[in-house]
Structure 1
Amino acid sequence: MSLAVSYRLLTPLLLLGFVQVILTKRFVVKEASKICLLAEFSANFSVSFETTAKKQATVLFPLPEDAKESPKSNCSSMIAPLLVVSFGDGHSLSMNFSRSNVSYKMEELTLVLNMSNSALFPNSSKVGLFNMSRPLDISAKLNTTYTCKSDSTIYMENVNVTLNKVQWEVLPPADGFSKTKTECHADVTPSVPPTTPVTTLAPTTATPVIQNPTRGRYNVTNNNVTCLLAEMGLQINITQMTGNKIATKVFNIYPNLTHASGNCSKDHAFLQLTDKWTTLIFQFVVNATFNNFYLKGISISSSLVPSQGKGFQAENISLHYLQTSLGKSYMCQAEQVLQVTPNFSINAFELRVQPFKVENSKYGIAEECQMDKDDMLIPIIVGAALAGLVLIVLIAYLIGRKRSHAGYQTI
């Protein structure tokens, strides 16, 4: 089965899970007759590239049926297994594992794409092999199977790899996977979400108000170095038509139930917040011309809001929020509404974020939002007005007193 052009889309919908994973493959890495790595998963790929016409294009495709273990796969004496999955016309997906006496981990994912494959990458300005790697730290205990039924998206430059229905184990038993499991974070959160109101409203009725969200602290780390810092309380607002009425769902993101992940490069940074029901992705970019950064994209996928028989999904990658100078952090204590689409917005509370040039895991100097500046300006104006009023009264009193004394002359 070839990687058909029919998978091509104009936007990276894979971030939201629009592409259904259709194939789960099992891969075995052996040394002699001993299995050092057993892996089973499905994968979707989203690849953005520039065409010869200087336009941006994005293709999406799943791991195809012809995917198989490459001869480059090896056990490296059972200490550092390497799985290389080859597929299509010269493409490959590699996973580097390592193990200790008590645990094992997948520590690097590498994707090699043949950009000369015109059927998959038509009119690509790049040709030849394109190699991308991402350090990871996906750990599990020895003698357990690492499992993750939820989608896990790994971000690299211009490429996103989403793994699904993952099972893998270093040094598995002879009859297959161990029955004892190490589950990923996304699979072990509580199965029932915290109660939040769902209200059906007339078209002109205001959105229901719930308690302000708890402020969470999130960060993204690349190669053991923190590259993104964020603190914020997040409240989601989703509005949909139900018959002739508007159904509005308002719910908070709970930091204690949320896992933060993502990736940073020189000019792009992704923050993904995931709990059992909702995935939020924030995309920050650098504007090199003005030496600043801004929030360019927000996407959401949530099972808390049914939509046409599936969860609610929305995305906008043409935003321009939170603009701040590089090396500094954006801060806004006031509630800020980030309108993403006509029916999806985020209320952000006590927000502070810095996605680039983070030094020593600390925020740079904060640049305050205009709302905070206005909040500070109002008391200054009121104070100045009161001071002016007091001064006017004092001057009037002194003038009145002087005139009063002038009415009496010494005889």
Structure 2
Amino acid sequence: MGPRRSAASSRGRLLLPLLLLGVSGFFQSYAVEVDIKDASNATCLYANWMMRFLITYESNNGDYKTTTLNLSSSATHNGSVCGNDTQAALVAVQFGEGHSWSINITKNNETYQGDFMTLTYNTNDTAVFPDAKRKGPVTIFIKDPAGPVQLNTVFVCHNSFDIEAENITQIFWNVTLQAFVQNGTVSKKETRCPADRPTSAPTVPPTSANATTAPTTAAPPAPTPPKPVENPDTGNYSLKSGNKTCFLATVGLQLNVSQDKPLLININPKTTVADGACGNTTATLKLNDGNSTLIGFTFAVKNASASVQKFYLREVNVTLLNRLNGSVISSADNNNLSKWDAFLGSSYMCRKEQTLQINENVQVHTFNLWIQPFLVEANKFATAEECLADSDLNFLIPIAVGVALGFLIILVFISYIIGRRKSRTGYQSV
């Protein structure tokens, strides 16, 4: 675990208000500066930015309205952490009447990159949502579309850019961010966002009043298209009973959470901790991805009293947590599965992608799966029983080779027959 931030080792202050002239008048927004210190009081994460949110919500009379949620002058950044090679960095901000925003940032070899953002807005805030039909906190996950940034490089974006998800438009400008700061000094090397390219003209961040009004001086920069989500990295997980390994798993995991727009979340093995329990007839593997996602796999033995026994995947449950306070945002469970069956004492393998339907809104995708929940010997996988998809591939290759050889033999035979006929024709008497 990385060093934890204390009140004495970090600072966050709100800069002077920036007044922006909108279509209908002046609009106020605040900049936030977060400087996180490690245990040696050296800067490990620095961020300075401005943002606001355009949120569409349903009113009591059934109409849909768009409101603007801004950072307040009393914003705090409790829960922000430095991160390290195995733990994601986190920038977290709390503001207004129960609103919060955070972004987790992961480190990968020589780069760092935002993974996903979490926005929680509270419709009980009547100043922002005066007649909201739905009351209470609403949490939205948004995939960060920005690409990786080299370590020891600061990400800078002066012009405004927006990220849309569901009924939310996030607007950012005057952004300076560097995660995993080296030697306690923010770098002078910059990576600029597409909006800051030389061909881009400065833009004014839109408000709910001018969001649909086209600027008269210059067209705003086109938003950066989201990058396609790559397959997740493969992780190796194990459980022990005493000093003996009792559960082995190798798998890449990806969550598909369907909201108004699908959200794909790759489970990062570097930040994932395995827990669970081994038993004679049931075994459970629980994976905790950086305290925000919990995935549980429960296996059982079929016909425990039979002479020949098989195991299978019986249940999968998924829980998404609020990274700031650990509260449950959503939960999904399917305890009526019958997947990944193999003979007891062997392992199950499936290199191809598989999909587990947890409920109508949540799917778990697996890649390069190899798992053995029972009778592990010498900390090694037993002989694997392959899934049908892999078996089909293994069968198709020799079949294709056999068919090709068959055609070749037929062609040789036909050529031989033709050659013999020509030879006989040459010796016929006239």
Q: Under a length normalisation based on structure 2, what TM-score does the superposition of the two structures give?
A: 0.46
| Structure with the bigger percentage of strand | 1
